[in-house]
Amino acid sequence: MSVRKLKPITPGQRFRVVNNFDEITTNKPEKSLTVGISKSGGRNNTGKMTMRYTGGGHKQKYRIIDFKRNKFDVEATVKSVEYDPNRTAFIALLEYADGEKRYIIAPTGIKVDQKVISSETAEPNVGNAMKLKNIPLGTVISCIELKPGQGGIMARSAGSSAQLTSRDKKYVIIKLPSGESRMVLGECMAMIGAVSNHDHMLTVSGKAGRSRWLGRRPRTRPVVMNPVDHPMGGGEGKSSGGHPRSRNGMPSKGYKTRKKNKASNRHIISKRK
């Protein structure tokens, strides 16, 4: 994976750094696995704006991703690695031995015509899905379930990965991308390998217009609002608005919002940094 800096023939390209998309093998998605997706523009069912700073954006189609990897003991062949506008990671199209096709999150290093499988007795090779209790210690994993059968919800974004560090009875201990170490049931599934497109963090938009293409509208700084609109608004000239806080008064910049008696606290070995 690599990035390249554009030759600035326009002002918007002066600082632009783009992805080379070396891993992408096709630009046409599998039609049976794509559905139309409508944009809300941040409005609810009555037309009231409930989410600010969203709207516009390029038209997209949603790719149906198999996060559960619940087609067990059937070998699949990687047909293509594709771009997905709905996420930062790339996706891979699998064709199973019985003819069924599914999309999965593409791990780093996956290749076309590679064989992958979801099985309890699989080898811990890149792209295979296994139960955590069967994965060797020290393995780099991604797309991790928190509850058996739920589907992968952790370590799914571009370049992210976790590491399986130890076992404790029916639990395994995983070091997550945030730095948190926590216990997860050994019956949960995970994919071997880190998520693809690790150079996503190196890209630079180059201009505000690209944020509009992605569906992000301009964001108003709270300090320039009036007191009626935000706790940090008001004042004369450039006087700031006191302590940083959200619109409903919740302090930011390090204020802990996690509940002290949350049920899953007992599964956390060490908190995130």
Share above pLDDT 90 across residues of the chain, in percent, rounded to a whole number: 93
232 pLDDT more than 80: yes
241 pLDDT more than 80: no
- Report whether 78 contacts 112 (CB < 8 A): yes
Find how far residue 179's CA is from the centre of its chain: 16
Complete DSSP assignment for 172-231: EEEE-TTS-EEEEETTSEEEES-BS-GGGGG-B--SHHHHHHTTBPPPPPGGGS-TTT-T
- What is the C-alpha separation between 130 and 121, in angstroms, rounded? 8
**Beta bridge pairs of residue 94:** 78, 102
145 pLDDT more than 70: yes
Pair of tokens at residue 251: 């302090």
- The structural domains of the chain, ordered by start, are 3-201 (2.40.50.140), 223-268 (4.10.950.10)
Q: Scanning the structure block, which residue is given the tokens 């693809």?
A: 196
- Report whether 54 contacts 31 (CB < 8 A): no
Residue 230, CA atoms < 13 Å, CB-side half-sphere: 20
The predicted pLDDT at position 192 comes to 97
Residue 13 in 3-state DSSP?
helix
Q: Mean per-residue pLDDT for 226-248?
A: 89
